[in-house]
Amino acid sequence: MRIWSLHPRYLDRQGLTACWREALLAQAVLEGATRGYTRHPQLERFRELPDATGAIGDYLAGVAEEATARGYRFDASKVHRRSAAPIRIEVASGQLALEWSHLRAKLAARSPELAQQWTSLEVAEPHPLFDVVDGPVASWERAVAAPTQS
């Protein structure tokens, strides 16, 4: 499961679709509607919130918004609920940098034209749900740090 902290604009078609599916799975887990993935480390940051299901709904809405902007038809009715009050989640700059490096490697292999589009971008923006704070890679992260690109 990869619930990107990065803005969905950076994802290729495959990545955006996978992000949607995986966030829908996360929604099911947080609602207690599935027995699988219940201890997935990426869900820790949602579980820490007073309104975890609202937060994952807000996350999904951000992904659906990007899909709509690209002309894709993600079924927004699959987002069960949004938060009543705006929710913000902090993401550390080290976590965002790791994810950016990880995504750029995926794009280089899978979508070279898109990878080329982002080569000059050193720092990526976060998903609209997240606020960037200084800090290291998150304790729940299981991806191996990729070498820095020059």
The pLDDT tens digits for 35-85 are 888 888 889 999 999 999 999 999 999 999 999 999 999 999 999 999 998
Q: Residue 150 pLDDT > 50, yes or no?
A: no
**What mean pLDDT comes out for the span 88-109?**
96
Q: Rounded to whole angstroms, how far apart are CA atoms 51 and 116? A: 38
- Tell me the two tokens of residue 140: 């729940």
Q: Rounded to whole angstroms, how far apart are CA atoms 90 and 143? A: 19
Structure confidence at residue 145 (pLDDT):
54
**What mean pLDDT comes out for the span 4-33?**
96
End-to-end CA separation in angstroms for the chain:
28
**What mean pLDDT comes out for the span 13-31?**
96
Closest listed residue to residue 59, CA positions, set 100, 92, 102, 26: 26
